[in-house]
Structure 1
Amino acid sequence: MIRLALFFLALPGLAEAACRQALAFGLDVSSSVDAVEYRMQMDGLATALNSDAVRDVLFDGPDAPIDVLIYEWSGPSDQTVIVPWTQLATPDDLAGVTLALRNHPRNPAAPTTAIGAALLAGFAFLEQRPACWKRTLDLSGDGYNNAGPRPQDIGHIHTPTGATVNGLVIGSGDDRRISEVAELSAYYLDAVVRGPDAFVEIAHGFADYAAAMERKLLRELTSLVIGAVTPEAD
């Protein structure tokens, strides 16, 4: 197995790249998310990013770090950047991101859930990182689109070339309502996620958010590591 950075730097046209993946997080902060759940979402993302397993992947290719951006969304005109594009080249860089998440206060937000507008905002952010070898948008949400453009009406022409949209669906945490989160997951699969290897992860309540986010990060971040494996000669 060769190092990830050397593997990609050896490919034609990629020698100048300095970013192996651009990862934008869009967090649902509409009225369905109360103050406690809001805090669990922010702290949960910080916890997942700082887990030992995720840190190992984040810092696996020091010659080509991962860039992250984090924003919150609610209504059609409500998208606020919490962490601007930040290169995770060192543990100190990651510490700055997690500190920003844990200290970010909740601001007034629209009561509506505008997933389509959140998608378009995420696409605009990803377009700011054209040199990254992989571009991924993560949308977390606990409800259906009810304002602004519908996500299923946003065609692939709007999606940055080669970009992937993954979803993290947040259920109620009540086992008696498992069918509801299954329906929401199906909605995300049909209308929201798109691109190469796109998938939906499920959090069974906001208390499960950190664990679900860690599972999702390991799944989407390790895909490049797998690509670094070369077959041994016979």
Structure 2
Amino acid sequence: MPAAAQEQVDVALVLAVDVSRSMSPEELQIQRQGYAAAIASPEVARAIELGLHGRIGLMMFEWANESHAREIVPWSIIETGEDAREFADKVLSDQTFGQRRTSISGAIRHASALLADVPYDADRMVIDISGDGPNNQGAPVTLARDAAVESGFIINGLPLMTKGGIGFQFNIPDLDEYYRRCVIGGPTSFVIPVVEWAQFPDAVRRKLILEIGGRMPPEPARVIKAQITFDKPYDCLVGEKIWRRLREQYFWDP
């Protein structure tokens, strides 16, 4: 249902969904169905009901290259099961076509702009970003992350460590670690990796429940928390370097 200006919500949550060409049409459809099923699930409805205000602000957009950020569902108040089902129906009714390149930094910046102008009085502001590869276009992802965290936003990650799509050359084996070290940030931020598409609906449902409640999962859940690390530095420009190497070899612009 339409939101009332400055209505109080427990969380303003932006769902940023990767539609880069590295994902196959089948994977894009599974992703869309998984989000819809999770949003309309009884477990998510219960998490919303248990909040201080009993409602959340939710919106979804798709992203790929730095200039591609397309709204799927606008800001909506989710308070009842009917609200959630209406949102899920809009997710399912939309059509997605894969786009070139992967700019996680562009997605974070777009989500940050949406939260900066959010039409609610939100206790927390969260960016929920999914993707199947590292940043390979636009500003370095760490710059966008740091700016978002500085603004008081939390960034959580859903790295899709699956195989498929035409951009498999961009796959990195430790995408979950890349998301932990380079993408997520803010208090209670975390990563939930998806290794097989069959895991996707449950992973999204768990992620939404945690984000709505503003809490961390009990151990030993398959969740990677943001934390200070004294390991050797991680190369957060790995995606940009892969793209440059492939371009030199194949003159290809995924």
Q: Which residue of 1 aligns with 2:88?
A: 98
CA deviations over 1:132-191 (Å, ceiling 9, x no partner):
0001100000001111112113363444632100000111269xxxxx775101111111
C-alpha distance in 2 between matches for 1:110 and 1:147: 13
Q: Are residue 117 (structure 1) and residue 92 (structure 2) matched?
A: no
**Secondary structure of the structure 2 residue equivalent to 1:110:** coil
Structure 2 match to 1:141:
131
Q: Is the 8 A contact 2:188 2:214 kept in 1?
A: no
Gaps of 5+ in 2: 1-5, 165-170, 217-254
* 2:126 partner letter: T
Give the corresponding residue for 1:7: none
> Does the C-alpha gap of structure 1 residues 131 and 113 become closer, same or farther in structure 2, counting only changes over 3 Å?
same
Once residues 149 and 183 of structure 2 are traced to their aligned partners in structure 1, the CA distance between those partners, rounded to angstroms, is: 11
CA contact (8 A) 2:145 2:185 kept: no
Secondary structure in 1 matching 2:102: coil
- In 2, Cα distance between equivalents of 1:21 and 1:214: 16
Q: TM-score, normalised by structure 1?
A: 0.80
Alignment of 1:1-234 (within 5 A): 18-61=8-51, 63-107=53-97, 109-129=98-118, 131-154=121-144, 156-159=146-149, 161-172=151-162, 183-223=174-214
Q: Structure 2 CA distance, aligned partners of 1:29 and 1:152?
A: 21
Cα distance 1:92–1:127, how it changes in 2: closer, same or farther (>3 A)? Answer: same
Shift of 1:61: 3.9
Q: With structure 2 as the length reference, what TM-score do the two structures score?
A: 0.74
Q: Counterpart amino acid of 1:60?
A: L
Q: Once the two structures are superposed, what CA deviation does each residue of 1:189-218 show, in whole Å capped at 9, x if it has no partner?
A: 111101111110011133321111112122
Q: State the shift of 1:63 in Å.
A: 4.0
How far off its partner does 1:17 sit?
5.7
